[in-house]
Amino acid sequence: MRSLPHQPGVRSKLPGAVLSLPLMDYETARRLQWRLHDERVSDVRPDTLVLLEHEPVLTLGRTTKRAHWNGGDAVPGRRDLRVIETERGGSVTYHGPGQVVGYPIVKLRHFCPGPKAYMRMLEEVIIRVLSDWGIEGRRVDKFVGVWVNDPLDPAGALAKIAAMGVKIVRGVTMHGFALNVTVDLAPFSGIVPCGIEGCRVTSMAEVLRGNVEPDEVRDRITRRFGDVFGLNWQDSRHERGAA
């Protein structure tokens, strides 16, 4: 794929595609990611952002220890919760309805020099999205993700509102971020989220003490992702609702 012409010192926006999809089981989404990844490597599709929500599942990243999830037995009322080992970075996390998950399938060299800079860009997207609702998102040294003042203990430790874990194969990214919008927070209490001891997880709805529409958050993620990554959305598909 050719780079677009640009003025010296000014990078033109690159073409991009958004797939906003229905509630989807994790393995189906995983297969989709690999297909899109192969298409991006082969330059038959532009840099792509997939947005969706997952059916309830625990996913285990490459640094997960059994103590982080205790075999799933500690997850309240969810002994039958599916557990899937993944190739992404990071430890254990929970996905469920009301959590907007983003899977960027992009050529890394188009946007930044390496994985660390890429993670900072993903954090920036979420920080800008939260600011649109008047929520101050923060970074925490040594930990990846986005944090906010804990609405249940404002003077205490920060609470995590967005988790991140990626994989980069042949220069193209997979996996990505998960922003808690209205997701049930109870399952997080039975795990060590992202392998961080003492970490409490929160959501936009809990912080705002009111309803937030995940579809509105998807739309704002699309806009902010385009801003941060310099993408001009030229193709999009929206198939929201139950799968």
CA 221/CA 132 separation, integer angstroms: 10
Backbone angles phi and psi of 24, in degrees to 5:
-145, 140
Residue 194 is among the residues annotated as catalytic for this protein: yes
List residues bridging with 15 in a β-sheet. 232
Residues 190, 94 contacting (CB under 8 angstroms): no
Taking 3-state DSSP, the helix, strand and coil percentages for the chain, each rounded to the nearest 5, stand at: 30, 30, 40
| Residue type (1 letter), 166 | V
DSSP 3: P
Half-sphere exposure of 82 (CA within 13 A, CB side): 13
Residues 135, 181 contacting (CB under 8 angstroms): no
CA 91/CA 216 separation, integer angstroms: 29
Catalytic entry in 52, 125, 194, 204: 194
Catalytic positions: 194
